């Protein structure tokens, strides 16, 4: 089964599963999904051309938990790391047990052509405009742990609240380098040069998904099944995510 057929299968499954939830409820299902920014492309792809409506709110995982704690309505929450999901559980905004559904690794990216001549997490970053995620969001926590393992002190010119913002500053040329997920680098294609960091394998980000307390339980269950079923897992792999 090729890439496009897998995507079509995932979209059809979305329509079937969420549509079934709608029928059981006697009305149109319209799940509201709060998800980590690094899930923007694959999750948006799930709903593309489907006969269902999914409202997505993408952002830094920790900020999304803040919104849920503040009473923002949602049916599903998907986090880019374990610590943030643990916080959501502790804050009492989840319903049921979280499910791990994907993994991801950090890489270093530069603008196309690597004009600053960056070679990795090394002395080539001295004086360079480096952008990273803020420590309170998953990509930032992973960045801090990775830097400690490598034995380097990072001196970023800015810390962003979402990994997509880091990538944006690199692709626009505002930054010489940035630490992002491998999936974001893959999605940027020829707009970036990607430098793998061997030590990243010691700091794998685990992605978790859960129903939100007070949300539509049927819609949440169907969406979570979509993500964790074979078609959803194949689509995530197409975007560069590792297996759960």
Q: What is the DSSP string of 107-143?
A: EEEEETT-TT---SSSGGGTT--EEEE-TTSHHHHHH
Known binding positions:
38, 61, 163, 181
Known binding positions for molybdate:
38, 61, 163, 181
- Do 88 and 157 lie in a common domain? no
Give buried/exposed letters for 167-182 (b at 16+ CB in 10 A, else e): bbbbbeeebbbbbbbb
β-bridge mates for residue 194, sequence order: 109
Q: In whole angstroms, what separates CA 3 from the centre of its chain?
A: 20
In a domain, 219, yes or no: yes
Structural domains of the chain, count: 2
- Do 21 and 110 lie in a common domain? no
Residue 30 pLDDT:
80
Residue 1 pLDDT:
40
**Per-residue pLDDT reduced to its tens digit, 24-73:** 444 556 899 999 999 999 998 877 734 568 899 999 999 999 999 999 99
- Do 130 and 220 lie in a common domain? no
- Do 81 and 128 lie in a common domain? no
Residue pair 223/19 in contact by the 8 Å Cβ criterion? no
Q: % helix / strand / coil in the chain, to the nearest 5? A: 45, 25, 30
Q: In the chain, at which residue ranges do the beta strands (DSSP E only) sit? A: 32-36, 55-59, 76-79, 94-104, 106-111, 130-133, 158-160, 177-181, 192-196, 205-212
CATH number, position 167 = 3.40.190.10
- Do 222 and 153 lie in a common domain? no
In a domain, 244, yes or no: no
- Do 98 and 211 lie in a common domain? yes
What is residue 58's three-state secondary structure?
A: strand
Helices (H) and strands (E) in the chain, counts: 9, 10
In a domain, 195, yes or no: yes
Residue pair 38/181 in contact by the 8 Å Cβ criterion? yes
- Do 130 and 189 lie in a common domain? yes
Residue 52 pLDDT:
65
**Domain range for residue 172?**
106-202
In a domain, 169, yes or no: yes
Show the low-confidence residues of the chain (pLDDT under 50).
1-6, 10, 21, 23-26, 49-50
Residue 69 pLDDT:
98
């Amino acid at each position: 089964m090729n890439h496009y057929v897998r995507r079509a299968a995932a979209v059809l499954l979305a329509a079937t599963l969420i549509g079934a939830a709608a029928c059981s409820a006697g009305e149109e299902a319209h799940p509201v999904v709060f998800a980590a920014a690094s899930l923007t492309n694959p999750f948006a792809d799930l709903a593309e051309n489907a006969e269902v409506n999914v409202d997505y709110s993408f952002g830094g995982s920790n900020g999304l938990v803040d919104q849920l704690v503040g009473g923002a309505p949602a049916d599903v929450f998907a986090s880019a790391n374990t610590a943030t999901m643990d916080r959501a559980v502790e804050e009492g905004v989840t319903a049921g047990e979280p499910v791990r559904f994907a993994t991801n690794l950090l890489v270093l990216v530069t603008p196309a052509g690597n004009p600053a001549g960056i070679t990795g997490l090394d002395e080539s970053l001295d004086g360079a405009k480096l952008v990273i995620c803020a420590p309170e969001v998953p990509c930032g926590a992973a960045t801090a742990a990775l830097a400690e393992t490598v034995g380097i002190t990072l001196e970023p010119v800015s810390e962003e609240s979402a990994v997509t913002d880091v990538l944006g500053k690199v692709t626009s040329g505002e930054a010489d380098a940035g630490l992002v997920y491998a999936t974001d680098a893959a999605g940027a294609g020829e707009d970036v040069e990607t430098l793998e960091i061997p030590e990243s394998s010691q700091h794998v980000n685990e992605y978790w998904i859960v129903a939100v307390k007070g949300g539509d339980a049927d819609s949440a269950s169907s969406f979570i099944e979509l993500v964790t079923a074979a078609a959803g897992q194949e689509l995530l792999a197409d975007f560069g995510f590792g297996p759960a």
